[in-house]
Copies of this chain bind each other. A is one copy, B any other.
Amino acid sequence: MVEREGGPRPGGRSARVQASVHRATRDLLARMDRTAVTIPLIAAEAGVTPSTIYRRWGELNELLADVAVERLRPDMVPVETGHGRGDLLAWAEQYAEEMSSDLGREMIRDVLAAEGAAGPRRCCSYARQQIALIAERAAARGEAFPSLDAVLDGVIAPILFRILFDEALGNARVGELVERVFEGDRRGDDP
């Protein structure tokens, strides 16, 4: 099952403050250059005091990372195509497309700009959860499916690596990578 990690108790005061500050941050980012966005501006937009934000997030980079991680949280279950390979291909193509968009790149950048590994790890865990869902559905149909690590290293890693350090991969190459992890899995089953 998709586990909800991090974040305060839903509906509590703390959750309402967080939701309001996140919304204010997203609204400001949508209508002004990010270099112009400041904590006092966000506080005014959210109707909280700046010290509320400083107390909770420490600095702007941390808040921007938190907002980006939240946006990267999957809001739908992976498309069902009837078999695991098709599900993984559809998911990977959509992931590659979203992450290589301007908004996707900005979110990855914000996540990586904050101190500490918590934000990036949450992003990785979101991807893991989506792949695990696809794998569970495949297992329920009695299909072979590659290991989570094989999918992380063989499909997700190259998608993100190319976006960050090179040129985003097109669908043809994403398809090859998905084929590759299935071939590896089959070989592993039947050496």
Interface residues in chain A, defined as those with a beta carbon under 8 Å from any beta carbon in chain B: 109, 112-113, 120-121, 123-124, 152-154, 156-158, 160-162, 164-166, 173, 177, 180, 183-184, 187
Contact = CB atoms under 8 A, between A and B. Distances in A.
Nearest to A119: B165
Contacts of A173: 153
A162 B160 CA distance: 11
Contacts of A152: 158, 161-162, 166
- Residue in A156, A165, A173, A187 whose Cβ sees the most chain B Cβ within 10 Å: A165
A121 B153 contact: no
B157 A123 contact: no
Contacts of A123: 165
B161 A156 contact: yes
Nearest to A149: B173
- Residue in A113, A158, A162, A183 whose Cβ sees the most chain B Cβ within 10 Å: A158
Given A153-B157, A160-B165, 19 more contacts: A109-B112, A109-B113, A113-B113, A120-B164, A121-B166, A123-B165, A124-B165, A124-B166, A152-B158, A153-B158, A153-B161, A154-B154, A156-B161, A157-B161, A157-B162, A160-B161, A161-B161, A180-B184, A183-B187
In the A-B complex, the 9 residue pairs with the smallest Cβ-Cβ separation, listed nearest first, are A157-B161, A153-B158, A124-B165, A157-B158, A157-B157, A120-B165, A124-B166, A160-B161, A161-B161
Contacts of A187: 183
A69 to B, nearest CB: 11
A31 to B, nearest CB: 20
A88 B156 CA distance: 22
A119 to B, nearest CB: 9
A12 to B, nearest CB: 30
Contact of A177 (B121, B153, B165, B177): B153
